[in-house]
Amino acid sequence: MRHPGFPVDHALPAAHIGGTAEAGYTATLKTVTGQQVLPIEELLAAAFSKRLRFGIAIGTSGQVEIFVSALHCWSCGSETQIVSGIHVVVGPNRFRFSVPHFDSHLGLFELIRHRLPSNRQIGVVRQRYSRTQGQSYLSNGCVHCDAIFGQFYDHDDGSTGEKICEFAIAIDGQWLEAIHNRDGWGVYPRQAE
Ligand SMILES: [Zn+2]
């Protein structure tokens, strides 16, 4: 199918096919968070072994990656580290979250908190009152003075930060709620039952 604007729908596995007979054909799938490009042979093999799936099912294996950034505190000027990104990788999808997203998923954040290395100068993650937002929410803080780092702090270098740890998860109901949007096709790796 060459038409680029095809609908993403659970009833119809749709892929954009490119390439040539000589070079081989590739299939491009619209996943939940982006695109997945793979040789068409792999797409077909995945389809026949039921690894071409719509949405994200409970029990799917995933991985959490935690990123930290070093920056200077807006309040006391000291250098502190903050949790700058929490990525959940599930098959071909990469969901990118920041700390405040977990304000409505505090139980999940406890899993993340336990994985934070203790030898880093990371400020405590807790609910703090933000005058800008007029409410309290789960936030980063300065490791020295506990000043809040709001949702839209400036990265020193514009990057996600440094990946400091990763761990495996099985997607359960709580993770599905945190992921929220899960409409998309994807080829998932083989997984131990
Ligand atoms: Zn400070």
Model confidence pLDDT, tens digit, residues 68-111: 999 999 999 999 999 999 999 999 999 999 999 999 999 999 99
Q: Which residues pair with 95 in a beta bridge?
A: 88
Q: CA-CA distance, 132 to 152, in Å (whole number)?
A: 11
Amino acid of residue 44: L
For ligand 1, the distance from its centroid to the CA atom of residue 78, given in whole angstroms, is 6
For ligand 1, the distance from its centroid to the CA atom of residue 65, given in whole angstroms, is 26
pLDDT digit string, tens, across residues 37-64: 999 999 999 999 999 999 999 999 999 9
For ligand 1, the distance from its centroid to the CA atom of residue 154, given in whole angstroms, is 15
Residues in contact with 115: Cβ distance below 8 Å, sequence separation at least 6, in sequence order: 64, 66, 165, 167
Q: CA-CA distance, 92 to 29, in Å (whole number)?
A: 10
Q: CA-CA distance, 116 to 122, in Å (whole number)?
A: 9
For ligand 1, the distance from its centroid to the CA atom of residue 146, given in whole angstroms, is 6
Spatial strand order in the sheet of 61-72: 93-97, 79-90, 61-72, 162-170
pLDDT (0 to 100) of residue 44: 93
Q: CA-CA distance, 142 to 154, in Å (whole number)?
A: 14
Spatial strand order in the sheet of 126-130: 126-130, 135-141, 148-149
For ligand 1, the distance from its centroid to the CA atom of residue 86, given in whole angstroms, is 22
Output the pTM of the full model: 0.86
pLDDT band at residue 1, thresholds of 50, 70 and 90? very low
The beta-carbon contacts of 110-113 under 8 Å, at least 24 apart in sequence, are 111/64, 111/169, 112/64, 112/66, 112/83, 112/86
For ligand 1, the distance from its centroid to the CA atom of residue 52, given in whole angstroms, is 48
For ligand 1, the distance from its centroid to the CA atom of residue 133, given in whole angstroms, is 20
The closest alpha carbon to 163, from 75, 65, 74, 88, belongs to 65
Q: CA-CA distance, 57 to 183, in Å (whole number)?
A: 11
